[in-house]
Structure 1
Amino acid sequence: MAELVGSMVVGPLLSLVKEKASSYLLDQYKVMEGMEEQHENLKVMLPAILERITAAEKQATSREAIRPWLQKLKVAAYEAIQVFDEFNYEALRRQAKKEGRYIKLGMGNRIMFRRRMGNKLCKIVRDIEALVKQMRDFRFDKQPQAQVQINYLRENDSTMVDPEIVSRSRDEEKQKIVRMLVKEQANNKDPMVVPIVGMGGLGKTTLAQLIFNDPEVKKHFHQLMKWVCVSDDFDVCNLANKICNASESNLENALQNLQRELAGKRYLLVLDDVWNKDDNKWNKLNACLKHGDVGSAILTTTRDKEIAQLMSTGEEHGIARLDNKFIKEIIEAKAFISQERKPTDLAGLVDDVVERCAGSPLAAKALGSVLRGKTSTEEWKAVISKSIAHNKDDRILPILKLSYDDLPSHMKQCFAFCAVFPKDHEIDVERLIQLWMANDFIPEQKDVRHETIGKQIFSELVSRSFFEDVKQVKGTRYGFVYWYLSTSTCKIHDLMHDVALSVMGKEVATITEKPKQSDEFLQNTCRHILLSCDEPEAVLNDSLNIRSPAIQTLLLGEDFLPTYIFLKDPRIKSLQHLAKYSSLRALRLWQTKSTILLKPKQLHLLRYLDISFSDIVALPEDISILYNLQTLNISNCWKLGRLPKGIKYMTALRHLYTHGCEELKRMPPEVGHLTSLQTLTDFVVGTGPDCSSIAELQHLNNLGGPLLLSQLENVTKAADAKQASLGNKKEIRELSLSWTGSEEEKQHCHKVLEGLEAPPGLEALRIQHYQGTSFPTWMGTLPKMVELRLFDCNKSNKLPPLGSVAALQVLHLKRLKKLESLCSGGTFFHFPNLKELTLEDLPEFDRWCEVNWVQGEQIMFPQLEKLFITNCGKVTALPGPALLGGSCCGDSKEQDERKLWSAFPVLKVLKLQCLAKFQRWGGAAEATQGQQIIFPQLEKLSIKKCPELAALPSATSQGVSFDHSDVTAWSAFPNLKKLLLEDLESFKSLGMTEATHERSQVLPRLESLRIRDCESLVEVFNVPASLKTMDLHDCPKLKSIFGELQDEPTFNQGPSAAPKLSSSAWDHLLPCLESLNIRQCESLSEVLNLPPSLREIDIWECPELRSVECCLGEFATLERLVLSECKSLASLPDGPQAYSSLRHLQITSCP
């Protein structure tokens, strides 16, 4: 494949040489003194080459002699870039000396510098002169390079394929495999293995994802579903760890963990992209996979039919080439920005394009992306002719080559660089763009930030299908930053990764396993290295002992491995041959030593330095000589106690990550000089003359993203806070303000917070340990604020005026000891868009609003979906409800008569915990005769430690039809699926009373019921037919679960002797119940009329239990039966089929 797609990109390198050779700094500081002639000769030759380089690159695949010439030109360009970067650094050093920000390191001997650099420049000029002579012999046509322009994609551009097309295109195949997994495999003891086999790019993984996400499959395999990306490393230990979410390094222990994880569970395991042909490895893993439950299944994807046959337990599924009608839809979706305005002449050529795709959706997306933006029939026909495959056995790769060749030169560099990442690696997009910047891949554009251009390049590559699986991930591991903002990640399709590898050749080296011969992986041509294996320094030291590559990127650390691979110690302890790192532009180093291993003198060309999660205690003072450094990541260096004073001289810094440095107590002085900073994750306010005051932020108006201001108790002057000018930093989206220290140290906090007025574009605000009695008014004037978190603000009894913050969607209030109400100032606050509300540890919170509004006029939380209330001792009820409108109910006249009320018309999750006085569900309306409080959309309800709550809202006797439901809502919770009741001293009723005769309409969708520590609960009547799992723990007065049942169940009698149901009555019982778990219910005497659908029965410590009976006399599907310390239990159901499917039986301390 290297010959097929190994295009060589040299033009951007030469353009970069030209740009660096023309830098004004070279002349201003006379760093090329005595080398003027060579300098001028080079500046004359470069435009001549650039005029013909486009033609040379195009002809390289058809004229064999051109490739070696291009390779020599590429080497010369790299050497020239290195030389001019050295010149530029010397100019910056002289500039720093002139401005008084200079550390003498023995690098300032001008005579030695001139001699050394003169020799290097002369060699480059000679080499390029020879290459120019050769170029003339090739007689390339002049083709001036096109101006670099970034296509700024509009949000509504049709650059992504509609998922609905993908779903429809594979529906028939999906349904076939779903039937195999759910129906045909249902009763098989050993797991079924279904391989999906086919050539790369046909959509094997996509089909597996459709199957994995199918509702029927999720329901069938609800006990355990796992997806493992395997690729070419079929390491049994690692795969076992991945399935178990474990980190065991010993193979036997890992396999034992796997057996325990699978035991008794019907599971679905997907092994994606398998390349293993070693049957011993497969047999070892497969032996453990057989410990799952009946009906388990394994779905694999592979390109190799031999591998499919090795793993399959039956017939493999050969994935079909996608039907041409779907290929056409995909091409049109990618090629035409507007589906309504497809040019007739171009639309007529689509069928010709379809034929070139060979049924591959990947090829269709790639080819469609190439055609997007081409507006003439001539351009389309040229693309179609180029896409004809020379190798008829593989018609996809030529299209991927064409897609790559169609990229602008600078995008080719950006994408090809990604070959350094392992296959299936989740690439952090922000870090990727910073690595592009460090390697000069992003072109200059006037008045546009490199980061902005990088994002547009990434978006364009996504739209052309070079990247996929783009996701937004919340950075939860970062603590006080990235709690709101998310980071983007992406992956590269295997075939696209192969394209990148073929382009880069031996310029990249990716090592995730320690090679047997450590000196073999690294070639002299290698420029970008990723090394993530045990003892990485040994691999690197051995290789550099015999070779001298000009390394530009060195990424060392465990964070580049798949999440299921855990190394013994991937951190760096020592490095040798330090002089060989002098060409580094980007370095990721995870080290154990307290001082940084590589000295700044050796890294003076560095632009990207990431030493996060390392054990360093300080950065060296001479780090300030890294005049080119753009990104410095020292986050989560827990022992780091100080930053160098000279950091103020690193004026090229754009991104400084300092969060998670627990020992860092101050910022060095004069950080306000770093005016290029766009990211500063944690500004630690210190005391004394050797640190920066918060006023230093006034000049950092380019700051954006997340910002944490910590130790704000050290701000003693409100004027300093105001001088920080946070309001001028328009790019900040997430702001955290944190105080620590004693109460005395926080006495100025109100005026300080007033001065820290946030910019109007702020989207998320977090305030912690603030001790003012009130909040500033600016907090109620942030029109774009989506999320607000207030923690440990112990003296504030009122919230800021949030009624005007219409965009607010998430509100978290924790440990506000004096807060009494959500509303203040005698007004009623309406939260029109709030979706999530958390109230935790609010001991004085006793009312939702300070004023009484007319009940029924307005709902306080019309869009609230999640409500969590914990440890709020004075809360007695939920907010007062309003009369539901036509959107929730049927005919409005009828609903008025029924008087259905709700404070939460769209609430889905409700958790109430540690509410000492909570009694009522809806204020005064609950007590009004004839009014029914309902939660029409609630799906999950959890109630813990509410000692005064006696029952759920009682059922109404009148049914009401809901738009989204085909049942009639008899209860307050017509859509509830999960119910947890725990430690409720007064709780007596679920609302499922003896008087309710229509059992199917009581909690009609309940699937999981868990009741624990409810001392007053006596009986559980009329359990709904939809129930799947029931857990009853520590209910000492519980006597009956299902009551006495007859052929015509009445559900209104006690737990006296109950005959078994006939099969005709079975339909009225619990057809879905699969798991029953009962523990420590001392009064429970009988468990009768259990349904035969049960798979698991666990009964522990029920001393009065005398009988366990199935309503049909046998447990045909029972797989697990555990009875322990049931001392009165006399017998069990018997018969030849009573326990025919039992796999686990445990009976202890039962007579």
Structure 2
Amino acid sequence: MAEPIVSDVLTRIGDLLIQESNFLYGVSDQVELLQTELKLMQSLLKDADARQDESDILRQWVTETRDLAYDAEDTIVTYALKVASSEEGGVLKRCACILYEGITMHKVGSKTVNIKAKISILKTSFRDYGIRESIIQGGGSGSLNERQRQQRETYSYLEDDVVGFDNDVKKLVEFILKEEEGNRIASICGMGGLGKTTLAKMVYSHHIVKQHFDCRAWVYVSQQCQRRHVWEEILISLQSKDQRDEIKKMSDAELVEKLRQVQQKQKCLVILDDIWTIEAWNSLCEAFPKKNTGSKILLTSRNKDVSLHADPRGFLYELQHLNDKWSLELLDKIISHRKGCIQTISKTRMEKLGKEMIGYCGGLPLAITILGGLLAAKQTQEDWENVLRYVKSHKENFGVNKVFALSYNDLPCNLKPCFLYLGIFLKGFEIRSKELIRMWMAEGFIPQIQHGEDGEDTMEDEGERYLQELVQRCMVHVGKIGSLGRIKTCRIHDLMHDFCLAKAQRENFLLMSNICSLGLSEEHIGKIRRLAINWKSSDECLRGIKLKKYPYLRSLLYSMLHLNHVYVKELCFKNFKLLRVLNLENYTRNLPEDIGLLIHLKFLSIKNSTMTSLPSSLGNLRCLQTLDLRSHAMSVPNVFKKMEQLRHLYLPSKYKVSEKLELADLCYLQTLENVQPKTIQTATSFRLNRLRVLGVWRYYKEPAQDAIQIVSSCPHIHKLNKLPEVHQFSPNLAKLTLRNTRLNVDPMATFENLPNLKILRLLHKTFSGDTMVCSKGGFPLLQSLVICRLDKLKEWRVEKGAVPGLCRLEIVACMCLNTIPDALGFIKNLRELEIIWMPKSFKDRLIKGGTDFYKVQHVPSLVFQWCIL
């Protein structure tokens, strides 16, 4: 995968020559010559990448080319950053650095000349080997660029494309709704790629199932079952996410007892997705009561014996491969649902070509889905016929991995590293899309573009389109959709993850601590650039980690959930001066002072860590784009003002400062979460013009004016959390969350006039009054409304013509509320209504046969949870 790397490096070097020319004084000529040499090499790499398997020497040359491109960027960027740093230090520092810079300039010049010479030699070697030059397409794939233009504003996300599951769903739903004692476990079995998880999701989200069960939980078990983690996730889902910290403090015995109590008191549905072994079930089963319960379990497994062992009297459903008719229908469904397929192929010809291709997929839905995603990206009949020729040429061993390889090879150059980067996450992991895109940005996979003021696109918007393209090609699946319609989480199928990780490791793109000993093997030639140390690693592997062996790392992900992190010594950052991404979730030690040496760092997360303070050297990280400090109480230094590239700042939920934080000069800041108004220096000129997401936390006795100052200084907010008072808002506001504001005046009178508000969440003690009113014509764009724990609310009125577009309503623990408004019966768009922790009398009025059922009988999904009082 040298071609995408060289392409990315060329883009970044080009940006440097334009944007940072002042800081390349004295070496710009050598940099331009090196850039030219890399461009000439790029024309050979498409063919070289495709033929790597022909010989070890060719693979070695490709690896050397990739490493030289990285070395070139590291050398040039490091020099520019050091010069920039000395320029900002004033006259004295500038004079002191002149001699040092002269020495550095000489070294940089020598290094670039040396790299250029090595690339020239490799270029000759490629040509002598018979590697052919190709025409370099500017701007990446034409297909991608065209489809990006079609997707500038919105994107529709479809459920998994499925065929032939209607009868399967019906049978499974019938079983889990049965009340007979003993019939408690249903199982879906079959090989990987048959659609077990998809079928389970259809059952889990079935409207009758949602109405029947009081609460539901879904947990992914995986090949390496972590018993404690599984139990915790189930209980958190069955109770409340607000109780997560309390649940994590329970002992195993307390956790099991609580789980059993919940399942005996309520009708619960628990999905155990992808459980591999009988031993895994035996380790989990004590948390599930066998008698006196209306709760049910649905598990998916590749091992039929697991299902038979778990409950011999249970319902076992064995998935089968698709027949030719269903296979062709699935392919057609995928292609017709994907955007961008230009209809230059006749329907008859498409069916003929498609029928011939699916014959080689063996009726495996996953293989057909990936093939469909690939064909949907093809523009002409010739493209389709080329795919068919590939399939035929590999017909003897054409299977899911060949389909994956075909789809991967067809990716535009700029998407290949983005796809391989997914391998850095654990199999089955629900990937947070914002975090993924920001890591892509930090790595340089997304080009530098405008910063989003006055409607211009941002790098984040571009990253979203990259992710959308991978979804379109069926290589990535959408997990959760955010409240504003964007991808919130994503995932890749287990088999696709296996392919991704194998490809990434063979390309020397990354290493995973849980599948390798972190010692270089024959498979790993070249410099290791990305490393993930995770909680699924064996003790032996963790003991053997020697981080100093990897000085060229660009990404380091360190995510531990239990005590095996003690085998990793305190990180010494002087060894990782080239890091761009550092993710230290759940890290248990404070950051050392030498964190300030990571001058290239663009993404830093210490989320859920136990750190108590941050070093002042953090201010040296001038290139940071994302800084995530969401953890417990922590002392925070006033150093953010130095991070001029900062775009996303997440402060701890509680933090202390010795002096007020200066943020006014962070002109690229888009996200500011958990900010306490009293800790911010808000001068008259305080202005965050590009801020889109603001989370304000104000203690109850704190003056409201400070918070109002921050809100009024952010004209482009589209998401606002935890606002303490309601006076001034941006007209762009699309999502508003309030908590603990204790407002005495009905907030609806203000909120209903916000022209672009789509999501409104009124949480714990937001409003202290007893009556709320939504007026006619109010909330013209509101789609989702959550009313939670408004303890004194007795009456909620909605006038006819208010909230016309409301799709989802959630009412939680408003114990004094008598009933829902009559006008909800006229809102035809209302698709989901969830009633949680409300009195039983409230529920009885809304169920079929109840006095208020007429208000909700048109709602397809009506769900009650924990309505027992």
On the 8 A contact 1:159/1:334 being kept in 2, the answer is: no
Q: 1:727 to 1:772 in 2, by over 3 A?
A: farther
On the 8 A contact 2:747/2:767 being kept in 1, the answer is: no
In structure 2, the partner of 1:653 is 646
SS in 2 for 1:351: helix
Q: 1:267 to 1:121 in 2, by over 3 A?
A: same
- Of 397, 409, 413, 2:413 maps to 409
Could you report, residue by residue, the CA deviation over 1:580-610 in whole angstroms, capped at 9, with x for unpaired residues?
A: 2112111122577785225244211111111
Structure 2 counterparts to residues 344-423 of structure 1, below 5 A? 344=346, 345-388=349-392, 390=394, 392=396, 395-423=399-427
Letter in structure 2 aligned against 1:380: W
Structure 2 counterparts to residues 931-1080 of structure 1, below 5 A? 941=842, 972-973=851-852
Compute the displacement of 1:318 (Å): 4.6
Could you report, residue by residue, the CA deviation over 1:1045-1086 in whole angstroms, capped at 9, with x for unpaired residues?
A: xxxxxxxxxxxxxxxxxxxxxxxxxxxxxxxxxxxxxxxxxx
Compute the displacement of 1:672 (Å): 1.8
Provide the C-alpha distance between the structure 2 equivalents of 1:394 and 1:310, rounded to a whole number of angstroms: 35
Compute the displacement of 1:85 (Å): 2.1
In structure 2, the partner of 1:54 is 46
Could you report, residue by residue, the CA deviation over 1:178-212 in whole angstroms, capped at 9, with x for unpaired residues?
A: 677778x95768x77756122x3221222344455
- Of 755, 780, 805, 2:778 maps to 805
In structure 1, the partner of 2:243 is none
On the 8 A contact 2:478/2:487 being kept in 1, the answer is: no
TM-score, normalised to structure 1's length?
0.61
Could you report, residue by residue, the CA deviation over 1:82-129 in whole angstroms, capped at 9, with x for unpaired residues?
A: 2122122123213423599x8999998224433554554344233212
Q: 1:778 to 1:260 in 2, by over 3 A?
A: closer
Q: 1:322 to 1:683 in 2, by over 3 A?
A: same
Tell me, yes or no, if structure 1 residue 605 matches structure 2 residue 578: no
In structure 2, the partner of 1:1039 is none
In structure 2, the partner of 1:1120 is none
TM-score, normalised to structure 2's length?
0.78
Letter in structure 1 aligned against 2:116: V
Moved more, 500-509 or 257-266: 257-266
Larger gyration radius, structure 1 or structure 2: 1
Provide the C-alpha distance between the structure 2 equivalents of 1:260 and 1:774, rounded to a whole number of angstroms: 39
Q: 1:215 to 1:860 in 2, by over 3 A?
A: closer
Compute the displacement of 1:438 (Å): 0.8
On the 8 A contact 1:726/1:759 being kept in 2, the answer is: no
SS in 2 for 1:530: strand
Tell me, yes or no, if structure 1 residue 449 matches structure 2 residue 455: no
In structure 2, the partner of 1:323 is 323
In structure 2, the partner of 1:23 is 16
In structure 1, the partner of 2:736 is 764
Structure 2 unaligned spans of 5+: 237-246, 451-455
Q: 1:141 to 1:725 in 2, by over 3 A?
A: same
SS in 2 for 1:419: helix
Compute the displacement of 1:676 (Å): 1.0
- Of 64, 69, 72, 2:64 maps to 72
- Of 123, 129, 132, 1:132 maps to 123
Letter in structure 2 aligned against 1:78: Y
Aligned residues: 831
Compute the displacement of 1:133 (Å): 1.6
Letter in structure 1 aligned against 2:575: K
Compute the displacement of 1:44 (Å): 2.9
Provide the C-alpha distance between the structure 1 equivalents of 2:779 and 2:529, rounded to a whole number of angstroms: 52
Tell me, yes or no, if structure 1 residue 462 matches structure 2 residue 471: yes
On the 8 A contact 2:9/2:70 being kept in 1, the answer is: no
In structure 2, the partner of 1:437 is 441
Compute the displacement of 1:261 (Å): 7.5
Tell me, yes or no, if structure 1 residue 472 matches structure 2 residue 373: no
Q: 1:74 to 1:633 in 2, by over 3 A?
A: same
Q: 1:147 to 1:99 in 2, by over 3 A?
A: farther
Tell me, yes or no, if structure 1 residue 692 matches structure 2 residue 681: yes
Q: 1:295 to 1:145 in 2, by over 3 A?
A: same
In structure 1, the partner of 2:667 is 675
Letter in structure 1 aligned against 2:374: V
Could you report, residue by residue, the CA deviation over 1:887-932 in whole angstroms, capped at 9, with x for unpaired residues?
A: 9xxxxxxxxxxxxxxxx9999859988xxxxxxxxxxxxxxxxxxx
On the 8 A contact 1:228/1:242 being kept in 2, the answer is: yes
Q: 1:606 to 1:339 in 2, by over 3 A?
A: closer
In structure 2, the partner of 1:197 is 190
Provide the C-alpha distance between the structure 1 equivalents of 2:387 and 2:588, rounded to a whole number of angstroms: 55
SS in 1 for 2:382: helix
SS in 1 for 2:669: coil
SS in 2 for 1:229: strand
Compute the displacement of 1:423 (Å): 0.5
Structure 2 counterparts to residues 841-990 of structure 1, below 5 A? 941=842, 972-973=851-852
Compute the displacement of 1:409 (Å): 1.2
On the 8 A contact 1:389/1:395 being kept in 2, the answer is: no
Provide the C-alpha distance between the structure 1 equivalents of 2:819 and 2:297, rounded to a whole number of angstroms: 47
In structure 1, the partner of 2:690 is 702
Provide the C-alpha distance between the structure 1 equivalents of 2:96 and 2:701, rounded to a whole number of angstroms: 39
Could you report, residue by residue, the CA deviation over 1:733-752 in whole angstroms, capped at 9, with x for unpaired residues?
A: 3254337xxxxxxxxxxxxx
Compute the displacement of 1:622 (Å): 3.2
Letter in structure 2 aligned against 1:138: Y
Provide the C-alpha distance between the structure 1 equivalents of 2:312 and 2:745, rounded to a whole number of angstroms: 70
Compute the displacement of 1:642 (Å): 3.7
Q: 1:568 to 1:879 in 2, by over 3 A?
A: closer
SS in 1 for 2:369: helix
SS in 1 for 2:77: helix
Q: 1:716 to 1:801 in 2, by over 3 A?
A: same
Moved more, 308-317 or 71-80: 308-317
Q: 1:159 to 1:334 in 2, by over 3 A?
A: farther
In structure 1, the partner of 2:497 is 497
In structure 1, the partner of 2:244 is none
Q: 1:879 to 1:672 in 2, by over 3 A?
A: closer
Provide the C-alpha distance between the structure 2 equivalents of 1:869 and 1:600, rounded to a whole number of angstroms: 45
In structure 2, the partner of 1:1041 is none
Provide the C-alpha distance between the structure 1 equivalents of 2:502 and 2:853, rounded to a whole number of angstroms: 58
SS in 1 for 2:406: helix
Q: 1:90 to 1:141 in 2, by over 3 A?
A: same
SS in 1 for 2:634: coil
Structure 2 counterparts to residues 174-185 of structure 1, below 5 A? 174-175=169-170
Could you report, residue by residue, the CA deviation over 1:150-175 in whole angstroms, capped at 9, with x for unpaired residues?
A: 43254999976666x62x51234455
Q: 1:684 to 1:569 in 2, by over 3 A?
A: farther
Q: 1:55 to 1:93 in 2, by over 3 A?
A: same
Moved more, 597-606 or 171-180: 171-180
RMSD: 5.5
SS in 1 for 2:480: strand
Letter in structure 2 aligned against 1:56: A
Q: 1:463 to 1:159 in 2, by over 3 A?
A: farther
On the 8 A contact 2:570/2:589 being kept in 1, the answer is: no
Letter in structure 1 aligned against 2:577: S
SS in 1 for 2:579: coil
Compute the displacement of 1:530 (Å): 2.3
Provide the C-alpha distance between the structure 2 equivalents of 1:806 and 1:114, rounded to a whole number of angstroms: 61
- Of 509, 512, 530, 1:510 maps to 512
Provide the C-alpha distance between the structure 1 equivalents of 2:675 and 2:577, rounded to a whole number of angstroms: 31
Letter in structure 2 aligned against 1:548: Y
- Of 513, 538, 545, 1:543 maps to 545
Provide the C-alpha distance between the structure 2 equivalents of 1:88 and 1:303, rounded to a whole number of angstroms: 54
Structure 2 counterparts to residues 196-215 of structure 1, below 5 A? 196-198=189-191, 200-212=192-204
On the 8 A contact 2:263/2:293 being kept in 1, the answer is: no
Provide the C-alpha distance between the structure 1 equivalents of 2:268 and 2:131, rounded to a whole number of angstroms: 62
More contact order relative to length (CA 8 Å, sep ≥ 6): 2
SS in 1 for 2:379: coil
Structure 1 unaligned spans of 5+: 1-7, 475-483, 559-565, 740-752, 810-832, 850-856, 888-903, 914-938, 944-951, 954-963, 979-1004, 1013-1151
SS in 2 for 1:471: coil
SS in 1 for 2:392: coil
